[in-house]
Amino acid sequence: MTARPAPPLSRRLSRVLVYLAAILVALYILAPIYLIAVMAFSPRAVVYGYPKPLLPTQISLETISFFINSYGILDSVKNSVLVAVFTLVISLAIGAPAGYALARYIFPGGDIYRILILSTRAFPVVILSIPLITTYISWGLDDSALGVALLHTAMALPTTILVTSSIFVGVSKDLEEAAMTMGCTRAGAFRRVALPLALPGLAASAIFTFMLSWNEVFAAAILTLQNQTLPARLIVQLNQSPIPFRFAGGFFILVPAIVFMLFARRYLFSLWGVKLR
Amino acid sequence: MKRVWAVLALVTILALVAACAAPTPQVIEKVVEKTVVVEKPVEKVVQATVVVEKPVEKVVQVTAAPANYGKVTILSTQANPVEEQEKMRGVVLKAFPGKPEFIGMEEPALIDRVLAEAKAGKGTADVLISLHGTYPTLLAANALLDLSDMVPNLKDRNIPEAFMKLGKLGTDKQYYIPVMQATYIMAANKKALQYLPAGANIDALTWEQLRDWGKNITEATKEKKLGFPASDRGLMHRFLQGYIYPSYTGGMVTGFKTKEAEAMWTFIKDLWQYVNPQATTYGFMQEQLLSEEVWVAFDHTARLVEAFKQKPNDFVAFPAPKGPKGLGFMPVIVGVAIPKTAPNPEGAKQMVRYLLQDEVQINILREIAFFPVTGVSYPGYVTVGIRMEGEAVSKQSASPDALPALLPVGLGAKGGEINKIYRDAFTRIVLKNEDIVKVLTEEGANLQKLLDETGAPCWPPDPASTAACQLK
């Protein structure tokens, strides 16, 4: 009599439904990626064909290799990575202390400050474009990775500050105080106790920043000429390119993001409190 | 599970690396650069012979580097697709005596950039390549260099006077110089030819015959095989402004709400029965022609060329049909200008002269399918596909009843609004089936308001006016 009673039918059914929903969601994301990949590696004649095949019938690297080897693509990948890394570092350096302050201290105007942070997102970059370029030219920041990174930082900071503040709220204040009773200074307690505990969350917020910068088109397109980022270059080239190149370009910009996500996902999950085994 | 992901990631990376392993054009470029360096000792001799008409073409071609004009940065709204950019860099600009840097941009970004550089008083852009419509905005901000001093030296290029006049933007100074042109024509799959209406000549169709052609195809195949680029990305408004309106009313603007226009819209509704209903998603008709989703299509020459290049034996090019008032068609002029803040104005002017050389004009046609503005004779130099397009273009403009319709002139920054009026009229009448007279009255009022606000006088093919153009 060791056999456990089978779970009631309703629970089994709901579990099936949950899995079904999960599969649907996964397909919703994966199916387009799959189709883009198939088309990116098909010869042109197949891509132009109608209806298009669901399975790769012929593999051809022609379009994608032409695309990758075309002028400036690899340089712009480099620029994109540079800009994203700069953005990540600067916005964490500014955003994390601000988030910590919001989480730990109660100060007059704290609530208004929170809202003010968000209000920076209310200014559309589009109307600022000409003054921005003019200012950048006179400051010598025009057409540089650092310049784009600064603007991306401005766009990312509100989320970084609010996310990091909620992460530091989750790190118990008692632990820091305990550390201080045992001889740690304020900074030491932060560095040895609060920071390691907050690290997964900070990493997740950094990933969001990275993705925001990686995908941003408009600011990058108006602030750079020679040193364009990948999306800025693609938006110009692909809008008017024949379909095979749009598939190749789409695939090319997807892959780094997917690879990055694969490595970063355990940190991303920790942002939502999901523990990975 | 982890291992599976790792393997997947590895495979993607490997695939990318494999793709990168193919020989790169950059490498080839570098090699060629080196050969130019080797030829340098000959430079001085060639410099003397460039102006003189001695028949030493081959030598000139190899060592076309008599002087070094330095870095010339080109911002262009044209030739932006991946392959065309490569061809601009690798072929068209290659023989320029200096270091050309070709940067593709969308029109709004280009305008913002040039305006900002003018404001900052310090620029990076030397040369602009864009459509006529870009320049009035830039001139209004006083951002363009006066190129009038270049005009006398360009006389031997034989650029049509009407085109040069457009480049003056309504002033007495030359602000841009026409550098290439395009237009809109028709293309058909050869499979469709058997359904041509009896007695119809494909090179001199009427719009009614086009409709009957579509009808015949639909009756025979049960499919709607006519196509127009009616999506947001498509250039449907040019079909209305430059083709069907002039063909039926003799003008683009003045006849907007006349009885003839009413008859024309009734006809378009009739025609639309045989147009593929997916047309509202079409942007570049070469795609649907190649996939055989449509058999007969109207579009810009550069947006059809891929079909003629890839399958020259499957397609024919022919002039747009004509209406009761003649054959309306729209030449598209691409101009080259120099911003006032250009860091290298001498190099920029040299670039303008360079682009207008015969060989370069032919290269432009061969590589990116824009037609020469100079008097150069090209048929011997281009592939079958482009020659077919070129013949259709010549037949179209040489037609005895041709009515060339210019892109809207004098609307300044409001150049885009006129397109919206025509497209709105099309959407309301043809797609939403609204009453023709009502729509024409309302949209006609919008059009008149636009003309009054900008004070734009009528432009061809409408009869010239001194004050703001008035609708009949």
Q: Does the distance separating the beta carbons of A249 and B80 come in below 8 Å?
A: no
Confidence of residue B452 (pLDDT cuts 50, 70, 90): very high
The answer to whether B20 faces chain A, any CB pair under 8 Å, is yes
**Interface contact A129-B233, CB threshold 8 A:** no
Count of positions (residues) in chain A: 277
Average pLDDT (B252-263) is 94
Task: Answer left, alpha or beta for residue A174, where phi above 0 means left and psi between -120 and 50 means alpha.
Answer: alpha
The residue type of B117 is: E
Residues A203 and A84 grouped into a single domain: yes
Coil, helix or strand at residue B421: helix
> Which of B33, B77, B82 is the best substitution to test chain A (most A C-beta atoms within 10 A)?
B82
CA B105 to CA B80: how far, in whole Å? 7
Is B61's pLDDT higher than 70? no
Q: Looking at the structure, do residues A113 and A223 belong to the same domain, yes or no?
A: yes
**CA A28/CA A266 separation, integer angstroms:** 22
Cα B152–Cα B157–Cα B160 angle in degrees, nearest 5:
90
Buried b (16+ CB within 10 A) or exposed e, B138-174: bbeeebbbebeebeeebeebebeeebbebbbbeeeeb
When the pLDDT of each residue in chain A is averaged and rounded to a whole number, the result is 85
Question: Does pLDDT of A272 surpass 80?
Answer: no
Instruction: Please tell me which residue of chain A has the smallest CA distance to B107.
Output: A236
Residue B326 sits at φ, ψ, to 5 deg, of: 130, -165
In the 8-state DSSP scheme, what is residue B464? P
Q: Looking at the domain assignment, is residue A31 inside a domain?
A: yes
From chain A, the residues in CB contact with B284 under 8 A are: 242
Residue A267 lies in a domain: no
- CB-CB contact of A224 with A198 (8 Å): no
Kindly report which listed range (A188-192, B50-54, B253-257, B447-451) carries the lowest average pLDDT score. B50-54
- A192/chain B closest Cα distance in angstroms: 31
Measured in Å, how far apart are chain A's first and last C-alpha atoms?
32
Q: Are A94 and A219 found together in one domain?
A: yes
Helix (H) or strand (E) run with residue B64 in it: none
Q: Inter-chain contact A137–B89, Cβ cutoff 8 Å?
A: no
| Set of chain B residues whose Cβ sits within 8 Å of the Cβ of A42 | none
Residues of B in contact with A26 (CB under 8 A): none
Distance from CA of B105 to the nearest CA of A (A): 6
Residues A97 and A229 in one domain: yes
Domain CATH code at residue A148: 1.10.3720.10
Least confident of A130-139, A263-272, B188-197: A263-272
Residue B413's closest CA among B108, B77, B80, B106? Answer: B108
Identify all chain A residues contacting B24, using CB atoms and an 8 Å cutoff: 69
Interface contact B294, partner A, CB < 8 A: no
Scanning B222-378, the segments in alpha helix (DSSP H) are 236-238, 245-249, 259-272, 285-290, 305-310, 345-355, 358-368
| pLDDT at residue B14 is higher than 50 | no
Q: In terms of CA atoms, which chain A residue is nearest residue B234?
A: A240
Specify the pLDDT at position B29: 34
C-alpha B258: how far from chain center: 30
Average pLDDT over residues B353-377: 90
Mark whether A128 and A94 lie in a shared domain.
yes
Q: Tell whether A50 and A91 lie within a shared domain.
A: no
pLDDT at position A3, please?
61
Q: How close A173 gets to chain B, by Cα (Å)? A: 36
Query: Does residue A84 sit in the same domain as residue A24?
Result: no
Q: Which two tokens stand for residue A164?
A: 């990091």
C-alpha span between B321 and B247 (Å, rounded): 9
Q: Please give the single-letter amino acid code of residue B465.
A: S
Cis previous bond, A196, omega within 30: no
- Domains, chain B, in order of start with CATH, read 25-182+333-389 (3.40.190.10), 184-331+394-454 (3.40.190.10)
Backbone φ and ψ for B182, nearest 5 degrees, come out as -145, 180
Q: Are A219 and A152 in contact (CB under 8 A)?
A: yes
pLDDT, tens digit, for every residue of B266-287?
999 999 999 999 999 898 999 8
Q: Is residue A175 part of a domain?
A: yes
Are A93 and A221 within one domain?
A: yes
**pLDDT tens for each residue of A17-68:** 999 999 999 999 899 999 999 988 888 878 777 677 788 878 888 888 888 8
**What's the pLDDT tens digit per position in B401-439?**
888 888 877 776 677 789 999 999 999 999 999 999 999
Cβ–Cβ below 8 Å for B113 and A222 = yes
Q: Which of B22, B124, B125 sits opposite A65 (nearest CB)?
A: B22
Structure tokens at A171: 């790190």
Domains held by chain A: number: 2
Let me know whether A195 and A144 are in one domain.
yes
Token pair listed for B173: 């100074």
**Residue in B16, B85, B290 closest to A71 by CB:** B85
- Residue B176's contacts (CB-CB under 8 Å, 6 or more residues apart) are B128, B132, B135, B144, B147, B167, B169, B335, B336, B337
| Amino acid letter, B373 | V
- Nearest CB among A50, A61, A66 relative to B292 is that of A50
Question: Scanning every residue of chain B, which has its alpha carbon at the shortest distance from the alpha carbon of A260?
Answer: B9
**Residue A71 parent element (H or E):** none
pLDDT of residue B301 exceeding 70, the answer is: yes
Answer yes or no: are the C-beta atoms of A162 and A209 closer than 8 Å: no
Report yes or no on A28 lying in a domain.
Answer: yes
CB within 8 Å of chain A, chain B residues 404-433: none
Q: Measure in Å the smallest separation between the Cα of A171 and chain B Cα atoms.
A: 29
Tokens of B426: 């099309």
The whole domain housing A27 covers 19-60
**Torsion sign, CA atoms A246, A252, A258, A264:** negative
Q: What is the pLDDT of residue B463?
A: 87
Interchain contact B284–A (C-beta under 8 A) = yes
Predicted confidence (pLDDT) at residue B321 exceeds the cutoff of 90: yes
Of A50, A64, A237, the CB nearest to B85: A237
Contact B124 A50 (CB under 8 A): no
Does A65 fall in a domain?
A: no
- DSSP, collapsed to helix, strand or coil, labels residue B389 as helix
- Under an 8 Å CB criterion, which residues of A touch B? 41, 44, 48-50, 61, 64-71, 74, 129-134, 137-138, 142-143, 221-222, 225-226, 235-243, 245, 249, 255, 258-259, 262-263
A153 and A36 share a domain? no
Interatomic CA distance for residues B439 and B165, integer angstroms: 35
B121: helix, strand or coil: coil
A134 and A30 co-located in one domain = no
Cis peptide before B108, with omega less than 30 degrees from 0?
no
Q: Token pair of A47, please? A: 């891509």
pLDDT score at B159:
87
Q: Which residue of A has its CA nearest to B294?
A: A50
The CA angle A265-A269-A272, to the nearest 5 degrees, is 155
- B187, B304 in Cβ contact below 8 A? yes
Does the structure's ipTM exceed the value 0.85?
no
Helix (H, G, I), strand (E, B) or coil at B129: strand
| pLDDT of B42 strictly over 60 | no
Range with the poorest average pLDDT among A64-68, A220-224, B301-305: A64-68
Q: Which residue has the higher pLDDT, A2 or B234?
A: B234
pLDDT at B57: 45
Q: A55 and A79: one domain? A: no
Question: Using CB atoms, which residue from A69, A142, A239 is nearest to B24?
Answer: A69
Partner A, chain B 37-76, Cβ-Cβ below 8 Å: 73, 75
